[in-house]
A and B are shown apart, each in its own frame.
Chain A
Amino acid sequence: MKNREETYEIMDVCLLAGKIMLRSGAETYRVEDTMQRIASALGIEQSHSYVTPTAILFSAEDRKPETTRLARISERTTDLKKVVLVNDVSRRISNGIIDLDEARRQLREIETSQLMFSFWLQVLAAALASGCFVIMFQGGWYDFLPALIAGGAGYYSVILFHRLIPVKFFAEFLGSVIIGVVSYLFIKFHLGVELDKIIIGAVMPLVPGLLLTNAVRDLMAGHLVSGISKGAEAFLTAFAIGSGIAVVLSFL
């Protein structure tokens, strides 16, 4: 049995861990599992959490009246490194290696740290992946370079538009329009051969792969609300990409 102040502090740490994980693209069931593990390792035996992609509800039921707290998640990115780090912290708490204060310090450090690969490295990776996809989808090496440039330009513009325009799915739409235009220009100036292959390869880095796999895993774990809403987000993203390409194709 913990007193009220201690309970609040433990809940703070749990919510912080949950927030970081959910923002970085972890599965919903993993967030719930981690928060409950941390809570029980630090002394709250009875805890319940309800996590959706947009909010975390967490309640401790050790003493009456039970405390419930809510954290709103408005922005989600993909940063698997942070998921791994928080996972490590939670494991160390469970094993009793670190205590509450140390855990809070480490989590705050993870929250504020910038662990992303540099922007240009990500664009380069997207470009490289696009080029490789052309070969994987039975295209010729002559389309490798056009897809590489189109894919890089597309990914670059998606990130850029995300910063400029806070409307969801619009960045993906504009990005795929740019991919379509760049690919078409390559064909027009006879630098590329198969328009289809170049566009398909270049679009692949925008595909909502993480959302798709997370949706499946959440549905399997019985988190129907999260699974379906992530599935919807994935579908809308795919739809935005498709309509961007469709806009360009309809002008050809």
Chain B
Amino acid sequence: MSYVEQLVTSFIASAAFGVIFNAPKESLVKCGLSGMFGWMVYFTLTDNGFGPVLGTLAASFLIAFISQIFAKQYKMPMIIFSVAGVIPLVPGGLAYDTMRNFVENDYNTGIALAVKASMISGAIAVGLIFSEVLNHLIRKSGSQPTKQQ
């Protein structure tokens, strides 16, 4: 039940972000899909005891990968699809907890949480970068045989 719940809400949330960023109408469903797949990877991994950093890394990698496929297929810039998908991974909850602890004068906990939040933000970036690198490698290996012919 909770997986179905997550599936539906993550799809709606990502598609709604497509509307906020004013993505073209025909790409809204694809925004939702990339966000949904990314979130499901994140949710499944964290649900099974892997840390949020690893979950975020895998999810942002997958989102970027799917976005690249969409970008090639529909001849649109990749950010259209990746931006909406990445939003759910942004550590909003941790950032909130950080702020809350700072306000309550619990600076030690606050700093620990802030570091955790920045680790997760870094994981988003690294996931995107890995996917880009993989894409370059695939494109290179794909284009070489045709060059030799």
The reply to whether A216 and B128 form a contact with Cβ atoms under 8 Å apart is: yes
A132 to B39, CA, bound (A): 12
Task: Assess A135 versus B79: contact at CB under 8 Å? Given A79-B22, A125-B17, A242-B99.
Answer: no
Contact with B along A114-140 (1 / 0, CB 8 A): 011100011001101100110111000
Task: Assess A81 versus B12: contact at CB under 8 Å? Given A209-B90, A213-B86, A238-B95.
Answer: no
Task: Assess A220 versus B92: contact at CB under 8 Å? Given A116-B22, A128-B12, A212-B124.
Answer: no
Q: Which of B43, B86, B99 contacts A209 (CB 8 A)?
A: B86
Query: Closest approach, in angstroms, between the C-beta of B88 and any C-beta of chain A?
Result: 6
Task: Assess A78 versus B21: contact at CB under 8 Å? Given A135-B6, A212-B90.
Answer: yes
A129 to B24, CA, bound (A): 18
A121 to B99, CA, bound (A): 31
A126 to B12, CA, bound (A): 11
Nearest residue in B to A219 (C-beta to C-beta)?
A: B125
Interface centre among A137, A209, A242 (most CB of B within 10 A): A209
Query: Closest approach, in angstroms, between the C-beta of A93 and any C-beta of chain B?
Result: 14
Report B-chain residues with C-beta under 8 Å of the C-beta of A209: 17, 83-84, 86-87, 90
The reply to whether B95 and A204 form a contact with Cβ atoms under 8 Å apart is: no
Instruction: Tell me the number of A-to-B contacts counted with CB atoms below 8 Å.
Output: 143
Would you list which residues of chain A between 182 and 231 have a CB under 8 Å from chain B? 196, 199-200, 203-205, 207, 209-210, 212-214, 216-217, 220
Q: Which of B43, B90, B97, B128 contacts A207 (CB 8 A)?
A: B90
A121 to B20, CA, bound (A): 9
Whether B75 sits at the interface, judged by CB under 8 Å, is: yes
A98 to B125, CA, bound (A): 38
Task: Assess A210 versus B83: contact at CB under 8 Å? Given A200-B93, A238-B95.
Answer: yes
Would you list which residues of chain B between 72 and 118 have a CB under 8 Å from chain A? 75-77, 79-80, 82-84, 86-88, 90, 92-93, 95-100, 102-104
Whether A112 sits at the interface, judged by CB under 8 Å, is: no
Query: Closest approach, in angstroms, between the C-beta of B45 and any C-beta of chain A?
Result: 14
Interface centre among A30, A125, A126 (most CB of B within 10 A): A125
Task: Assess A115 versus B86: contact at CB under 8 Å? Given A87-B76, A216-B125.
Answer: no
- What is the total number of residues of chain A having a CB less than 8 Å from a CB of chain B? 50
Stretch at the interface among A55-63, A164-172, A244-252: A244-252
Classify chain B's interface size.
Answer: 35 or more
Task: Assess A216 versus B103: contact at CB under 8 Å? Given A132-B16, A137-B93, A204-B87.
Answer: no
The reply to whether B24 and A136 form a contact with Cβ atoms under 8 Å apart is: no
A27 to B71, CA, bound (A): 15
The reply to whether A242 and B90 form a contact with Cβ atoms under 8 Å apart is: no
Q: Name the 9 nearest CB pairs between A and B, nearest first.
A: A125-B19, A132-B9, A129-B16, A132-B13, A125-B16, A209-B87, A135-B9, A216-B125, A242-B99
A–B Cβ pairs within 8 angstroms, 6 of them? A80-B21, A80-B77, A122-B20, A125-B20, A132-B13, A136-B6
B-contacting residues of A (Cβ < 8 Å)?
A: 25-27, 30, 78-81, 83-84, 87-88, 91, 115-117, 121-122, 125-126, 128-129, 132-133, 135-137, 155, 196, 199-200, 203-205, 207, 209-210, 212-214, 216-217, 220, 238, 242-243, 245-246, 249-250
